[in-house]
């Protein structure tokens, strides 16, 4: 029976059907996401593996910060650090962060400027996982044999690296918002998306105003909370200023982008006030959160996941930093491998600053993240910078155009 099937003429209908099904299946495998995950080097799958490695590193840093003192108190080499018995708290986080930074920085140096999928560096980025896991474990162990003075120096450098990460993330968010706004206002989509844009813009403005009102109620309950009142009032002023600049007749950028940017800066203001010390008398919501263990743990878990997701989404968004279209056209890799690893390297410094509250000499409470006055001021300055960068992106074309006219 089987032999008779193989001896059928190739022109028979059954043979043609099998051939057609096989061709359709092969074409489907080549065009579908399955091909990216299961056939050859898989840069699409690789980015998720790197995100899992980054998440595991964050959890390891948290474990050492909150529970590592009792487990590793016998390591005499680590007792010379600042803070004595709290060595494995803030400084333990810095050591894990240094190992994570070294791992991703080595990956950055070995994959930067990869443009073709045929390049051997594509295989190194997407495969060789046993070797890279061993490399990662090695980098996790090496920092614990480095003198404490060098770790403290790394903690100072990490402030700069975390700032670079925040700047990259800020540009990525603003670029996405402006891209979405331009896409919806294009000739092709303007009439089709008019109602959707109007609804989303109204909801964004309403959510921003409601958020500002709630922050006044929760974090500025009395006139003596002058700093929180200043932060919230400046947020309201920035929201109005961005809307005014965007709706100006010379700019004419619409109302979707300032609405989404308003949500973003309201979120940054809320994050800044939430980062204030829990002993602050105006931060009643934070004080209530410390009294509920489940809420504190949930906030911590969400905070860690947000770090990983922000690093991941920023790392794969290398296109927004390519200023020359000719270079982008030459590439056939799905995203910039070097940029991806560079963002994760800066993210390693960023999560260290969040776990130690941007201050390597303070003791953090268990299940807390990004708490302290330094964290609050970093957030609020990031908010001001976000608003300025967005408005500059709107005004810059007009300034350059005027300069060109004056030059001619």
SS (H, E, C) the chain: CHHHHHCCCCCCHHHHHHHHHHHHHHHHHHHCHHHHHHCCCCHHHHHHHHHHHHHHHHHHHHHHHHHHHHHCCCCHHHHHCCCHHHHHHHHHHHHHHHHHHHHHHHHHHHHCCCCCCCCHHHHHHHCCHHHHHHHHHHHHHHHHHCCHHHHHHHHHHHHHHHHHHHHHHHHHHHHHHHHHHHHHCCCCCCCCCHHHHHHHHHHHHHHHHHHHHHHHHHHCCCCCCHHHHHHHHHHHHHHHHHHHHHHCCCCCCCCHHHHHHHHHHHHHHHHHHHCCCCCCCCCHHHHHHHCCHHHHHHHHHHHHHHHHHHHHHHHCCHHHHCCCHHHHHHCCCCCCHHHHHHHHHHHHHHHHHHHHCCCCCCCCCCCCCCCCHHHHHHHHHHHHHHHHHHHHHHHHHHHHHHHHHHHC
pLDDT of res. 6:
41
pLDDT of res. 350:
92
Res 402 pLDDT > 70: yes
Res 105 pLDDT > 90: yes
Tell me what the pLDDT averaged over the chain comes to: 78
Res 122 pLDDT > 70: yes
Res 380 pLDDT > 90: yes
What tens digit of pLDDT does each residue of 174-228 get?
888 888 888 887 777 777 777 888 888 899 999 999 999 999 988 888 888 889 9
What tens digit of pLDDT does each residue of 342-368 get?
999 999 999 999 888 887 777 777 777
CB 159 within 8 A of CB 378: no
More confident residue, 43 or 341: 341
- Kindly state the average pLDDT of the residues 55-83: 68
- Indicate the pTM of the whole model: 0.77
CB 347 within 8 A of CB 172: no
Note every long-range contact of 68-77, with CB atoms under 8 Å and residues 24 or more positions apart, other chains counting: 68/92, 75/144, 77/144, 77/145
pLDDT of res. 186:
77
Domain extents for the chain? Answer: 40-407
List Cα–Cα distances, 198 to 203, 238, 242, 248, in angstroms. 9, 21, 17, 18
Residue 52 confidence class, pLDDT cut points 50, 70, 90: very high
Least confident of 160-164, 176-180, 253-257, 296-300: 296-300
pLDDT of res. 381:
93
Res 301 pLDDT > 90: no
Res 321 pLDDT > 80: no
Res 79 pLDDT > 80: no
């Amino acid at each position: 029976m089987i032999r008779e099937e193989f001896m059928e003429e190739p022109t028979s209908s059954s043979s043609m059907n099998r051939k057609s099904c096989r061709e359709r299946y092969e074409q489907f495998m080549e065009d579908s996401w399955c091909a990216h995950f299961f056939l050859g080097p898989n840069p699409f799958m690789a980015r998720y593996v790197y995100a899992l490695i980054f998440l595991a590193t964050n959890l390891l840093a948290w474990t050492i910060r909150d529970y590592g003192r009792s487990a590793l108190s016998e390591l005499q080499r680590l007792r010379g650090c600042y803070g004595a018995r709290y060595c494995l708290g803030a400084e333990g986080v810095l050591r894990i962060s240094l190992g994570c930074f070294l791992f991703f920085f080595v990956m950055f140096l070995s994959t930067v400027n990869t443009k073709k999928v045929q390049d051997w560096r594509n295989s190194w980025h997407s495969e060789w996982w046993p070797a890279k896991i061993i490399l990662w474990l090695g980098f996790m162990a090496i920092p614990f044999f480095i003198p404490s003075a060098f770790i403290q120096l790394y903690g100072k450098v990490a402030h700069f690296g975390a700032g670079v990460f925040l700047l990259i993330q800020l540009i990525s968010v603003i670029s996405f918002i402006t891209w979405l706004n331009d896409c919806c206002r294009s000739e092709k989509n303007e009439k089709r998306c008019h109602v959707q844009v109007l609804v989303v813009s109204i909801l964004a403005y309403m959510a921003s105003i409601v958020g500002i009102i709630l922050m006044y109620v929760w974090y500025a309950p009395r006139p003596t909370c002058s700093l929180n009142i200043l932060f919230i009032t400046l947020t309201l002023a920035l929201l109005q200023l961005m809307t005014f600049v965007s709706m100006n007749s010379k700019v004419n950028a619409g109302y979707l982008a300032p609405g989404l940017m308003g949500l973003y800066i309201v979120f940054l203001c809320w994050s800044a006030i939430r980062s204030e010390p829990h002993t602050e008398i105006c931060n009643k919501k934070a004080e209530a959160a410390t009294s509920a263990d489940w809420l504190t743990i949930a906030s911590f878990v969400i905070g860690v996941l947000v770090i990983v997701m922000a690093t991941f989404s920023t790392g794969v968004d290398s296109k927004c930093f390519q200023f020359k279209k000719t270079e982008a056209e030459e590439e056939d890799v799905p995203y910039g491998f070097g940029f991806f690893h560079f963002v994760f390297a800066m993210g390693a410094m960023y999560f260290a600053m969040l776990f130690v509250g941007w201050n390597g000499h303070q003791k953090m409470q268990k299940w807390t993240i990004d708490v302290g006055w330094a964290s609050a001021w970093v957030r609020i300055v990031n908010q001001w910078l976000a608003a300025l960068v967005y408005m500059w992106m709107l005004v810059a074309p007009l300034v350059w155009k005027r300069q060109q006219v004056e030059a001619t």
